[in-house]
Chains A and B, each alone.
Chain A
Amino acid sequence: EAQVTQNPRYLITVTGKKLTVTCSQNMNHEYMSWYRQDPGLGLRQIYYSMNVEVTDKGDVPEGYKVSRKEKRNFPLILESPSPNQTSLYFCASSLVQGGKQYFGPGTRLTVT
């Protein structure tokens, strides 16, 4: 089944403790992206990647890092999480830039 998977689905952590949210797609898509969803603010793009080793900032990249060492994986790294990063995070992939994006199931992160 074609899908985007994210792990973990739920995470509660404390301020300053480094964490990684994994994202993997099995559709051989070149383009992958991370979004955060907050009430009343829609989805805001954090980072995106157009191919292996090619990444760029979205609209809200502060406090986040990404890497794209393999085509299928696009992990989101929070080096020193803060409470304002409490949010619902979605990974997405598409065959081409500007094409249909397939979203993962989401990761709900709480930073205390």
Chain B
Amino acid sequence: QQQVKQSPQSLIVQKGGISIINCAYENTAFDYFPWYQQFPGKGPALLIAIRPDVSEKKEGRFTISFNKSAKQFSLHIMDSQPGDSATYFCAASLTNAGKSTFGDGTTLTVKP
């Protein structure tokens, strides 16, 4: 049973455009929702994260939108740049149990 479903699998955006990646989760006990960015040959690095008591969090060009009732959250990358080309993973964690479940990843390509 896949607890975190991520879409799309791949995404191509023009420079300056908005990239949107979506995730849906099933377990309502999840209480921490991070997004990680991974470049080829590197480990994932935390990009931005949100807890379910807020509906939106913005850090620079990156925004998480969180819909608790729909059990969905999304990453928006404004003014996408070629340097944003990477694989993005959403995740959901049970902080009191130490478990983390990741989505399958989205490969983003930003064309110049």
Residues in A lying within 8 Å of B, measured CB to CB = 4, 31, 33, 35, 40-45, 48, 50, 56, 58-59, 90, 92, 96-106
Contacts and interface: CB of A to CB of B under 8 A. Distances in A.
B43 A106 contact: yes
A13 B95 CA distance: 36
B26 interface: no
A40 B100 contact: no
Contacts of B104: 40-42
Interface size class for chain B? 20 to 34
Nearest to B44: A103
Given A33-B100, A45-B100, A98 B93 contact: yes
A43 B44 contact: yes
B98 A97 contact: yes
A103 B43 contact: yes
Contacts, number: 69
B101 interface: yes
Contact of B49 (A40, A45, A58, A100): A100
Interface of B: 6, 9, 31-32, 34, 36, 41-46, 49, 89, 91, 93-105
B101 A105 contact: no
A40 B45 CA distance: 19
Given A40-B104, A42-B102, A43-B102, A98 B31 contact: yes
30 contacts: A33-B98, A33-B100, A40-B9, A41-B104, A42-B89, A42-B103, A42-B105, A43-B44, A43-B102, A44-B102, A45-B101, A48-B98, A48-B99, A50-B98, A58-B100, A90-B43, A97-B96, A97-B97, A97-B98, A98-B31, A99-B32, A99-B95, A100-B34, A100-B46, A100-B49, A101-B36, A102-B46, A103-B45, A106-B42, A106-B43
B111 to A, nearest CB: 23
